[in-house]
Amino acid sequence: MLKLSMAIVAVLLTSAAANAADIEAGKAKAQACAACHGDTGVSTTETIPSLAGQPDLYTQWQLIFFRAGTRKNEQMQAVVEDLTNEDIRNLGAYFASLPPPKGVTPDPDPGLSDKGKLSAAGRRCTSCHLDSFAGVKATARIAGQREDYLLKALRDYKSGARAGGGMAAMADVAYSLQDEEITALAHYLAHVQ
Pick the stretch among 11-19, 45-53, 97-105, 107-115 that binds ligand HEC (CB under 6 A): 45-53
Q: Which is nearer to ligand HEC, 13 or 172 (CB)?
A: 172
Q: Which is nearer to ligand HEC, 5 or 131 (CB)?
A: 131
Candidates 6, 13, 166, 179: give the one binding ligand HEC (CB under 6 A).
166
Pick the stretch among 1-9, 11-19, 46-54, 99-107 that binds ligand HEC (CB under 6 A): 46-54
Nearest of 136, 60, 122 to residue 95 by alpha carbon: 60
Site string for ligand HEC, 118-157 (x = CB under 6 A): --x--xxx-xxx--------xxx-x--x----x-xxx---
Tell me if 133 sits within 8 A of 31, measured CB to CB.
no
Contact residues for ligand HEC, defined by CB under 6 A? 29-30, 32-33, 35-37, 48-49, 51, 59, 61-63, 73, 75-76, 79, 91, 120, 123-125, 127-129, 138-140, 142, 145, 150, 152-154, 164-166, 169-170, 173, 185
